[in-house]
Chains A and B, each alone.
Chain A
């Protein structure tokens, strides 16, 4: 069974451009979370979706948006890219969300974004 898959694995953009990152969760997992990891730091929570509804949002500007599709895959969109958006973007899936002890995440390998 495939794990969490993310695409693209690497991409380079210039300031002001837009980027779309994609994630396919493990089969049967209905919750998808997005994290940003800047070099040398821990992952920072961006969004969580469950059953196609946003269930949580981290402290990120409105340039960041996401959605979840009926097949539970997800997209993360970032508009008006800044140099500081350069990071590894991690997608993680889980069976469900919000329940104590239930939120064990399975991560994809990430999409490394470089903004020039």
Chain B
């Protein structure tokens, strides 16, 4: 079963715009991670945020975590065509449980 659920399912933007994806989950977590997947290939780890953190930055990525609302968001600033991919949140207790993902399309 899927623990996290990303929203929106698909997002289409122009290069230079910001992209925001949201993730909601159901049970308590140790940390939450975001991964990226290019067209059916393996997933690549982007960023990890611990349950006692509220915000984290990595380059053009900004992740927030609200444990009271059981939700997280991933913001990609100044998007590029190369950011086109599917993005998944994964909640962590002893194993990683992934959501269904958000498909991001960035057009030049």
Contacts and interface: CB of A to CB of B under 8 A. Distances in A.
A5 B96 CA distance: 20
Interface string A59-81: 10000000000000000000000
Interface in A99-116: 100-101, 103-110, 112
A5 to B, nearest CB: 11
A59 B1 contact: yes
B94 A104 contact: no
A45 B94 CA distance: 12
Contacts of B94: 55-56, 97-98, 103
Centre residue among B2, B33, B98 by max chain A CB count within 10 A: B98
Given A42-B99, A59-B1, A103 B43 contact: no
Contacts, number: 70
A107 B43 contact: yes
Interface residues of A, number: 30
Contacts of A39: 40
Contact of A33 (B35, B96, B99): B96
22 contacts: A4-B42, A33-B95, A42-B98, A43-B43, A44-B98, A45-B95, A56-B94, A90-B42, A92-B42, A100-B92, A101-B30, A101-B31, A101-B48, A101-B50, A103-B95, A104-B45, A104-B48, A105-B35, A105-B43, A109-B41, A110-B40, A112-B40
